[in-house]
Structure 1
Amino acid sequence: MVFLMCDLGIKVEDFNPKILYTFERKFSEGEKYDNHNHDFLSLIYILSGSCNYIIDDIPYKVKKGDLLIFNKGVYHERCEIFGNDLIEFHLGYENINIKNRCPNKLLDSTQTPIINFLNYDKDFIKCLNEIMAEQQKDDKGKYLTIKTLAMKLIVIILKETYENINTKDKGALNIDKYDKLTIVNTMMEFINENYMEEISLDIISQNMYLSPMYISKLFKDETGETPINYVIKVRLAKALELLKETDISIKEVAKSVGYNDAYHFSKLFKKYYGFPPSKAKR
C-alpha cells in the first residue's frame, strides 16, 4: 500500500534524500558570493546579521531568522552584507522528489524563495540546533543522526510551505466571504503607491494582514505573475517614463524607483526592455 506523508506530496517509502553537506559559515562585510546555481537543492538559514541576495535577478534583503530555499537551477548571489558579520547555516540535498514538482525542487513557481516560519518556527529551530550540536560530537552514530535530523527538517519545511495553501493558513481570509480580485487589486494599489520604497512580500503581507505564501499564490493565480515581478514591472515602467521625459541621471532614476544599486537597475532594465537605460534617454 502506498501512503502519502501527511499529504505533503512525498511517498513514505520513496523518501530517502541524500545529504550532501551541513555546515555553518561566517561572512564579513565586503565579502561577496558570485552568481551561481546548483543541480541539487540548497538551503541557507540566516543565524545572525543581514544582507542582500539576488535570486534569479530579483533582489531580496534577508535577515536573522530567514530561510533561503534554492531549488535546483536557481541562480543566486550574496551581494552586500550590512553591519556585523553574517552567519549562515548551509544544507545541500539530492533525491528530493515532491509530487507534481521536478526533482530537487522543494518550492513551486508561485512561492517566494525566502521563508519566514509562521506555524512551525519552534520545530524548525529545535531541529536545526540539534543538527549543529550533533556536528560538534565525536560519535559513531553522528552522520546517521545528522541525516535523520536533516530529513526531519525537510518535513517541517513542507508542513510550512507545501502547496495545500488554503484558508486554514494563519492570517488568511475566508475566501468564501471575500473577493479574491479585491485582495489582488488592493495589493496592486499598495505596490503602485509604494514602489519607490523598500518593498518585499513580507511588507505587502503585513499591510494586507495575510500570510506571504497565501498572497503570493493568490496574486499569481489572478494575474499570472508574482507580486515581486509586478513590483519590478511597475518600477521599470516608471523608470522608462523618467528616462524619456526628464534629464536626470540614470543613477537618480534608479534611486527614484527604489533601486539604490544603479548597476543592478541597469541590468534589470536591459533584461526587461531589451536595451540599456542610456538608449531610453532623449
Structure 2
Amino acid sequence: MNLPPVNIENIDIKLRFGNFVLNVLYVKFGYFLSSMPEHSHSQGSYELHYIPQGKGTLIAQDQSYPITPGTLFMTGPDIIHEQIPDFNDPMAEYCIFFEVLPGDSTPAINRNHIANDRLMSELLMSTPFWIGTDRENMMALFEMLASELSIQSVGFHHTVTNILEIIVIRLVRQYSLHTSSLHPVPLKTLDDSRLLTIENCFLYQYPSITLKKLADNLRLSTRQTERAVRKQYGISFSEKKAQVRMSAASRLLLSTELSIYAIAVQIGYTSQEQFSNAFKRYYGMTATQYKFKRI
C-alpha cells in the first residue's frame, strides 16, 4: 500500500549530543519513480536514508550497492552518490537531512554521559558513508516520525525531537566499520533555508544556474555567494558547477544512447563544441572515447 508523501522543511529541530548539535533541515518520505541524479553534500552535511519497501541500487563513490527493504545508509560530506530504482518494484525512502554544528560548552554532570556523547560524535563525523541492513527495528520509529509530522498534533515538536534522537542513536550503534573524515566540520554561517537553496540548485538546476541567479535566490551579493559556495564545498562556484555537469555527462554517456549533442544541450551547454572542449579538459579524453572506454 502506498503511503502519502512527507516533505517538511525548516522544522527548527536541533538534536544535542554533548559537544555537537545536529541541525535538522528536512524530513521527507516518498517513492522513487525516477532516478535521483548523482550528487554530493557540502561539508558538515549528512543525509540519512531508510528504505521501508521496494528495490533499487545505490551507487556511492563508484561502488554499487543493492537496496532492499530494511536498507539503511548515511551519505555525508563529499560522498558522490545516486539512487536508481527498480521500476518493477520502486523503492520508497525516508530521508533526514541535517548539518553538524558545534554545541555549547556546558559540561555534562555524569562522566559516562560525556564519554558516550564523545563516542557518538566521533563515530558520526568520522564516517562520511555507511550502509547496512537495519538491526535496530527502526521501521516503527520512521512510521511514528511520519505520522507526527503529518498530523502535527499538540506536542508534536517535542515528540518529533525525541524520535529523531532515537533514530540517530540507533543508526550510530550499527556502525561497525568507519573511516576518518577527509575534512573537518566547519562552522556554518548560512541559515537553514540558504544552505538548502545551494544544495538544491546544484542538484536540480545545474544546467542553467549562474552565480548571479544563485546570489539572487540567496539574497546575497555575488561575492558573498562565491564565498558561501567555497565554504560549503571547498571549491569555487564555477568548479562546483563544472563538477556537477561533468558527473551528469558521465552518467548519460555510460547509461543512455543519447547523442553527444543531446547530452550537451541537456546539461546546459549551448553547443556541442563547447561541451566537448569542457569534457576533454575535465576527463582528459573526448566524450566519444569516454563512452566506449568500458566496452
**What TM bracket, shorter-length normalisation?**
0.3 to 0.5
Normalising by the residue count of structure 1, what TM-score does the alignment of the two structures yield?
A: 0.48
The structure showing larger relative contact order (alpha-carbon pairs under 8 Å, at least 6 residues apart) is 2
Normalising by the residue count of structure 2, what TM-score does the alignment of the two structures yield?
A: 0.46
